[in-house]
């Protein structure tokens, strides 16, 4: 299996730092799973929960002009190419960014993977864009709109599947469960660029049930629950196109924006907001208390204070966890959402421990 080759090298040359990464920033607690039928028991020796993300897909952008083309559209710098010989520790091979509209609002959130040029037949820059599968066609149309006469090819990449890998237990319990970063024509294995709390990303052709050694198949619902608890938005439900603002969506916290790069579509509002230094609303992780209606909480439902004042809006979620766009000064008081049957559901707000101190 191609994925097995990605990890076999991790056990070799333990004295060398080359190509070795350890996920040190994981919380000192086991990844919570919904129930025994959704998750496995780490006592069986599994170190990684492997989640197939069927709702994520890939677009390939390649050609001599692909790098400047993407730089003019994305909020972030592009991942740097790594060394061809693998003799030194590579720079980041993946990056996080948003495509914005001309008003500066988010259209699509993407993880950008850079493919090694020395392994490509045309010896030209090539990138993979991981996006929500629901907007695959819209993203291709958006790229085609700005391609004009550039030497760029935009095409879907259905042959690779997207997986998320999360540590199944604290490092001191699992031992040295190392992963080895690698990028080639058939697979990509790299730390999630948004935060170490989100583990690793794996793109691979294999369709095996468990894509890595010492891994176990996880339920995607557990992945999304973990993601919501960590305050990480992903896809169009969490980031509605043309509605979400990038800095309110914590793009800067997730390493998704550069304030020193050249111009890109939608830059003006983002840069002005950053330099003003005032972001009054943010996406916060929330947990619903008490019974949740069978039809769930409506997307965009108002979040109210105890006195009935508006505190923000519920964005999206799963079960009793989710994200809400809230005014920062309102998060410490009692909050609730009115349901469709005229009831109320209380909620609590948390601030992820990986956020910068200035935001807490």
Cβ-based neighbour number of residue 333 at 10 Å: 12
The residue that leads in pLDDT, 115 or 73, is: 73
Average pLDDT over all residues of the chain: 82
Closest CA to 255 of 95, 111, 22, 101: 95
Establish whether domains 1-279 and 281-359 are of one fold: no
Residue pLDDT, tens place only, 226-276: 999 999 999 999 999 999 999 999 999 999 999 988 899 999 988 888 888
Domain extent listing, the chain: 1-279, 281-359
**Over 90: is that where the pLDDT of 32 sits?**
no
Give domain 1-279's CATH superfamily.
Aminomethyltransferase beta-barrel domains (3.30.70.1400)
Query: What's the CA angle centered on 153, arms 148 and 159, to 5 degrees?
Result: 150
Q: What's the CATH number of domain 281-359, 3.40.190.10, 3.20.20.70, 2.40.30.110, 2.60.120.460? A: 2.40.30.110
Q: Once rounded to an integer, what is the mean pLDDT over residues 324-334?
A: 94
**Over 60: is that where the pLDDT of 10 sits?**
no
Query: What's the CA angle centered on 107, arms 106 and 111, to 5 degrees?
Result: 90
């Amino acid at each position: 299996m191609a994925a097995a080759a990605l990890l076999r090298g991790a056990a070799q040359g333990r004295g060398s730092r080359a190509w070795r990464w350890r996920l040190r920033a994981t919380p000192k607690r086991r990844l919570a799973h919904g129930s025994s039928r959704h998750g496995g028991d780490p006592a069986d020796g599994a170190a990684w929960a492997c989640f197939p993300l069927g709702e994520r897909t890939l677009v390939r952008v390649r050609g001599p002009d692909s790098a400047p083309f993407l730089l003019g559209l994305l909020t972030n710098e592009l991942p740097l190419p790594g060394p061809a010989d693998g003799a030194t520790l590579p720079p980041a091979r993946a990056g996080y960014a948003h495509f914005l509209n001309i008003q500066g609002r988010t259209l699509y959130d993407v993880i950008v993977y850079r493919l090694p040029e020395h392994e490509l037949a045309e010896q030209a820059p090539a990138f993979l864009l991981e996006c929500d599968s629901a907007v695959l066609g819209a993203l291709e149309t958006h790229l085609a709109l700005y391609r004009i006469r550039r030497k760029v090819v935009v095409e879907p990449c259905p042959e690779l599947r997207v997986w998320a890998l999360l540590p199944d237990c604290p490092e001191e319990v699992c031992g040295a469960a190392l992963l080895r970063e690698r990028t080639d024509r058939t697979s990509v294995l790299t730390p999630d660029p948004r935060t170490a709390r989100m583990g690793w990303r794996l793109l691979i052709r294999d369709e095996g049930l468990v894509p890595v050694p010492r891994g176990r198949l996880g339920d995607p619902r557990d992945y999304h629950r973990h993601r919501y608890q960590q305050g990480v938005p992903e896809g169009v439900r969490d980031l509605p196109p043309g509605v979400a603002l990038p800095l309110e969506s914590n793009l800067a916290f997730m390493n998704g924006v550069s304030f020193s790069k050249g111009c890109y579509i939608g830059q003006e509002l983002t840069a002005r907001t950053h330099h003003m230094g005032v972001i009054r609303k943010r996406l916060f992780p929330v947990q619903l208390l008490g019974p949740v209606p069978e039809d769930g909480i409506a997307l965009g439902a108002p979040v109210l204070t105890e006195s009935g004042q508006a505190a923000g809006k519920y964005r999206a979620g799963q079960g009793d966890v989710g994200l809400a766009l809230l005014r920062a000064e309102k998060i410490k008081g009692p909050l609730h959402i009115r349901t469709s049957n005229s009831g109320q559901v209380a909620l609590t707000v948390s601030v992820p421990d990986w956020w910068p101190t200035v935001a807490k």
